[in-house]
């Protein structure tokens, strides 16, 4: 299970819950990303570390809130099979991560696209019966992802 976990102040993350696991701690409210929140004294080893984390102030990007997506299972597009997509609400950035990396516990996202400002900000992802993925924006758009 891939979980888009909106951070508290400075970090966003994607957490992974392994098959069969029913209870887990991802660190709320002691941790944010890989660090103890607000200088608190905490034990990071007591929690499952995020598979992906990124800072709000990553250069000039203006990231602010992760939007978790889906692993791509379609056949018509240009995305590699099993690529997990995520986005950031404020920066309108979309990244892809091989699901196999997420399952190992640590992944480095690669830029897939930047949603043009005229479409609005990414609010959610959708998936059709064929496994093709879509973005839903606050501008009222439904945009296909990865079409050839």
pTM: 0.89
Dihedral angle of Cα 99, 105, 111, 117, to the nearest 10 degrees: 100
Q: Cα 90 vs. chain centroid, distance in angstroms?
A: 13
pLDDT recorded at residue 48:
94
Specify the DSSP element, H or E, that contains 12: strand 11-16
pLDDT score for 7:
86
* Contact indicator for 33, 13 with CB cutoff of 8 Å: yes
Q: How far apart are CA 65 and CA 82, in angstroms?
A: 23
Instruction: Confirm if 124 and 118 have CB atoms less than 8 A apart.
Output: no
- In three-state secondary structure terms, 103 is helix
Could you tell me the CA-to-CA distances from 62 to 15, 32, 50, 81, 128 in Å, in that order?
22, 18, 21, 29, 30
Work out the pLDDT band at 75, boundaries 50, 70, 90. confident
SS3 category, 108: coil
Mean pLDDT over the full length of the chain: 90
For residues 84 and 109, give the distance between their C-alpha atoms in angstroms, rounded to a whole number.
9
Residue 147: pLDDT above 70?
A: no
Q: How confident is the model at residue 60 (pLDDT cuts 50, 70, 90)?
A: low
């Amino acid at each position: 299970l891939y979980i888009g976990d909106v951070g508290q102040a400075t970090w966003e993350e994607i957490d992974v819950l392994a098959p069969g696991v029913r209870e887990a701690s991802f660190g709320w409210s002691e941790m944010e990303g890989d660090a103890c929140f607000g200088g608190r004294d905490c034990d990071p080893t007591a929690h499952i570390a995020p598979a992906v984390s990124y800072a709000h102030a990553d250069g000039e990007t203006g990231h602010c809130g992760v939007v978790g997506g889906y692993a791509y299972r379609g056949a018509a597009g240009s995305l590699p099979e099993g690529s997990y997509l995520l986005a950031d609400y404020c920066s309108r950035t979309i990244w892809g991560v091989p699901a196999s990396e997420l399952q190992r516990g640590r992944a480095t996202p690669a830029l897939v696209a930047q949603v043009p400002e005229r479409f609005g900000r990414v609010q959610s992802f959708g998936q059709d019966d064929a496994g093709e993925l879509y973005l839903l924006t606050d501008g009222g758009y439904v945009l296909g992802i990865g079409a050839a």
